[in-house]
Amino acid sequence: MASDNAAGAHPDIVQALVRANADHALAYGQDVYTEQARQLFNDLFGRQVRTEFVYGGTGANVLALACMLKPADSVVCTEMAHIAVDEAGAPERILGAKLQTRPSPDAKLTPQDILDVVHLRGNIHHAQPAVVSITQATELGTLYSAGEVREICAVAHQHGLLVHMDGARLANAAAALGASPQALRSFTVDAGVDVLSFGGTKAGLVFGEAVVFFNTGLGDRVENIRKQITQLHSKMRFISAQYIELLRTDLFFKLGGQANAMALALYEKTRHHESLGLHAPPAVNSLFPTIQPRAAQALQDWAFFWDWDAPNHKYRWMTAWDVKSQDIDTFAEAVSQALKI
Site for a copy of itself in 86-125 (CB under 8 A): 86-90, 92-99, 101, 103, 116, 119, 124-125
Judged by DSSP in three states, 133 sits in strand
Contact status: 221 vs a copy of itself (CB under 8 A): yes
Among 158, 180, 228, 249, binds a copy of itself (CB under 8 A): 228
For a copy of itself, the closer CB: 144 or 308: 308
Residue span binding a copy of itself (CB under 8 A) among the ranges 55-63, 169-177, 181-189, 281-289 = 55-63
What is the rounded CA–CA span in Å between residue 53 and residue 223?
A: 10
Distance of CA 16 to the CA centre of its chain: 23
Length of the chain: 341
Pair 96, 139: CB distance under 8 Å: no
Query: Residue 275 interacts with a copy of itself (CB under 8 A)?
Result: no
41/34 Cα distance (integer angstroms): 11
Residue type, 97: A
Binding mask 190-209 toward a copy of itself (x if CB under 8 A, else -) reads -----------x----xx--
Query: Least distance (Å) from a copy of itself to the CB of residue 263?
Result: 16
For a copy of itself, the binding residue among 126, 159, 271, 314 (CB under 8 A) is 126
- Does 22 participate in binding a copy of itself (rule CB under 8 A)? yes
By beta-carbon proximity to a copy of itself, the closer residue of 72 and 341 is: 72
Closest by Cα among 7, 26, 47, 86 to 212: 47
Binding to a copy of itself by residue 233, rule CB under 8 A?
Answer: yes
CA–CA gap between residue 135 and residue 132 (Å, rounded): 10
Cβ atoms of residues 93 and 151 within 8 Å: no
Q: Residue from 44, 53, 59, 257 that binds a copy of itself (CB under 8 A)?
A: 59
